[in-house]
Structure 1
């Protein structure tokens, strides 16, 4: 059975697959943040992106596949943003920490949808108790990557961290999300430079003798 090839006009109108995928991910972030993951349908996401539901299935396979891809996309973007903020090798560790905090604070204002989605994904993970979901897995990968970056920057700057790098990574992620949530509710309570100040103070302090499981 033969098929009719698309006309030149149809070919020109068809966006590249990467553009379709990007549009669907952005639409999913907006739609899920506003309606909730369970409350939003794939039709809603597709309509917000200007496509049909078939485009979602062809790119992500299912709703859970779309959610997993969205988590991967936003976590990767978060890591890239952080690494770019501390790419000045001539800066001291406190200067890099301050620059990182300031950039992450600015990003929190730009990415309200992601923080709303983060809260819902966090709730789903806690309520279900699942340890094999894409959200938790990507969080662990992000934590490991942040730990490695902190270790590398401390060594390059010739600085001693006040707590183990893994603990610093935990503090960084907790501060980033916690302050972003507070800033969304009451912007005046979280000054633009608060996170940068706190991170700089953390790395300026001398090493703290561990008293818990981290003690070696």
Structure 2
């Protein structure tokens, strides 16, 4: 039975705002699901990690699947916002924006280790259940479409023709981000801090790059 979002250690304290409760529960869910597994962790585990009763989870998300769906929405939105913020310099060339994006996403993979563990679990669940649970697939597709739109807009602003359709660039960007994050978790030395940025710069036509410096080659990329 729902008892409302009453913090366990907060006897006599004013009830926190609903947005604050949701934020705490989402952050706790990300940590708990990443470490214990979505199926292995209970709502009691999530609530305790956030400092609330299980009733707070039910009153805010309705069920465990509702919490998982909200968590997916939250993290995907955060990922998109982070990427857009990294490329908000209108004076930068497209390769420079791509490099800044890659560097920021690499840093985020270190900062958000739990999210990548959770992403792998969500991917496995979606592949195993198929149409029965398409919320993750749907949200991931929306992210890819949003990234493709952003790529096309930035290319237009920079006056640069992409070497591939924007949708293909978006797919490659997400695949690189996810794949390199996994490799970096396994062996950090195998994925230098600037690797993704350099690859993305090359992908959008940045010419050659050094191992640590910026893009080089003053004559511009070869056009096919």
Please give the TM-score of this superposition, normalised by the length of structure 2: 0.86
Q: Per-residue deviation at 1:207? A: 5.5
Cα pair 2:126 2:133 within 8 Å, conserved: no
Number of the residue aligned with 1:5: none
Cα pair 2:103 2:193 within 8 Å, conserved: yes
Q: Secondary structure at the match of 2:204?
A: helix
Q: Per-residue deviation at 1:130? A: 2.2
Number of the residue aligned with 1:109: 110
- Poorly superposed stretches of 4+, deviation over 6 Å: none
Q: Deviations over 1:126-177 (max 9, x none)?
A: 1112275211111011011001000000000000101000000000000000
Number of the residue aligned with 2:48: 47
Number of the residue aligned with 1:189: 190
Instruction: Specify every segment of 5 or more residues in structure 1 that has no aligned partner in the other structure, as ranges.
Output: 1-8, 209-216
CA distance in 1 between partners of 2:144 and 2:223 (Å): 21
Q: Per-residue deviation at 1:12? A: 4.8
Change (3 A) 1:151 1:11: farther
Cα pair 2:32 2:45 within 8 Å, conserved: yes
Instruction: Specify every segment of 5 or more residues in structure 2 that has no aligned partner in the other structure, as ranges.
Output: 1-9, 206-220
Q: Secondary structure at the match of 2:161?
A: coil
Cα pair 1:162 1:206 within 8 Å, conserved: no
Cα pair 1:125 1:136 within 8 Å, conserved: yes
CA distance in 1 between partners of 2:15 and 2:86 (Å): 36
Which has a greater percent of helix?
A: 1
Cα pair 1:82 1:103 within 8 Å, conserved: yes
CA distance in 2 between partners of 1:135 and 1:95 (Å): 31
Please give the TM-score of this superposition, normalised by the length of structure 1: 0.89
Number of the residue aligned with 1:63: 64
Change (3 A) 1:207 1:49: farther
Number of the residue aligned with 1:15: 16
Number of the residue aligned with 1:211: none
Cα pair 1:160 1:207 within 8 Å, conserved: no
CA distance in 2 between partners of 1:179 and 1:116 (Å): 13
Number of the residue aligned with 1:75: 76
